[in-house]
Structure 1
Amino acid sequence: PPPAAAVEVPPQGYMIKSPMVGTFYRASSPESAPFVEEGSMVKAGQTLCIIEAMKLLNEIEADISGKVIKVLAGNGQPVEYGEPLFIIAPGD
C-alpha cells in the first residue's frame, strides 16, 4: 500500500477570524512594514491587519494579548466572513 500522507496539525492557540468579506492587507501601504510578523508579541487592541471592503479600510485588532504563532491569510488575498486570519498564543 502507498505510504500514509502526513496530516498537518494546525497550531494551537486563539484564532482571530475575519469579521467581514474583503481584501486582506498586512500593512497600511505597499511600502510599509507589516503590522505584525509571526513571532511578534501583540497587546489586546493592537492593529493586526487591514481588510478593505467596498473602498473602506477596516483595521482588525487583536482580541487578546500574546504571541503571533501563524499568519494564515496572504497579503492582497480575498477573505471571507469567519475565515481564520491569525493564530495567537495567549499570554503577556
Structure 2
Amino acid sequence: MTTQQIHAPFPGVFYRQPSPDDPVYVDEGQQVNAGDVIGLIEVMKQFVELKAEMTGTVTGFSAENESVLEAGDVIATLEVSE
C-alpha cells in the first residue's frame, strides 16, 4: 500500500459537504473510486467539484470544512493499493 495526497488545484474555500444541512461527501476511512467527489472548492462564487484521482481509502483530511486553501495545499490523503 502507498499513500496519495489530494491537493487543491487552485486557491479557494474547501467544503466537505454540498450544503450546511447535508452529510459530508466522504468520511475518513471510507473507500472512494477514481472520479468520486470528495468535496467542493469555491472560487469567486463558483463551486468546483474536487474528485479523487485514484481508487483508495481516505485516511484523513488535512483541510477543515470551510478552510481557505492555496493552490497545492494538501486536502486529503488516500491509501491506495498498487
Q: TM-score band (shorter)? A: over 0.9
Larger strand share, 1 or 2: 2
TM-score, normalising length: structure 2: 0.95
Deviations 1:17-57 (A, max 9, x none): 00010000000000000000110100000001000001000
Aligned residues: 80
Identity of aligned residues (%): 32
When the two structures are superposed, what TM-score results if normalisation uses the length of structure 1? 0.84
Largest Rg, 1 or 2? 1
5+ residue gaps, structure 2, are none
Q: Give me the whole-angstrom Cα distance separating, in 1, the residues matched to 2:15 and 2:8.
A: 12
> What is the alpha-carbon root mean square deviation over aligned residues?
0.9
Partner in structure 2 of residue 30 of structure 1: 20
User: Displacement of 1:85 after TM fit?
Assistant: 0.3
- Partner-residue secondary structure (3-state), 2:66: coil
More relative contact order, 1 or 2 (CA 8 Å, 6+ apart): 2
Structure 1 portions without partners, runs of 5+: 1-11
Give 1:42's aligned residue: 32
